[in-house]
Amino acid sequence: MEKQLFIINEVRTNNFNDSQVADKIGALWEEAKQYQQENQTFYGIYMDYESDFSGDYTVRVATDYQAFVGAETIVIPQQQYHVFPVENDVFATWQEIWKSPLDRSYVFDYEEYLPDGSIFIHIGLKA
């Protein structure tokens, strides 16, 4: 079954060539806090990759419920994902992912922030 998400906001950035990357992503999450509801899941979506993790990409923050009227929707694409549980730090987990030998699709990746506080990063793989 397809999972539909509701977009709160988005920004285009780059992990290595944008000195404001952390501020931009932080601002997305700060805005998303106003829509936080108990027992709801939030998502950090990574898509529209220029090339790989070193190129430009779009990051979006979304929920699994309609946070406001007129919110754009997106469906999580059907593809194989490798799931990384985040033990301590989201950025440190991404650094591990960047070093991994996974055959990534660079179509759609996402972070899943569950109500119990656990976080999982889903990395899209080539078929």
Distances (CA, A) of 60 to 48, 78, 90, 100, 103: 11, 18, 16, 23, 23
Which H/E stretch holds residue 30? Answer: helix 21-32
pTM of the model: 0.93
pLDDT tens by residue, 42-64 = 999 999 999 999 999 999 999 99
Residue 1: per-residue pLDDT? 62
Question: 63: closest CA among 109, 113, 23, 124?
Answer: 113
CATH 3.40.50.720 for domain 3-125:
no
| Residue ranges in the chain whose pLDDT is less than 70 | 1
Residue 39: per-residue pLDDT? 87
Domain coordinates in residue numbering, the chain:
3-125
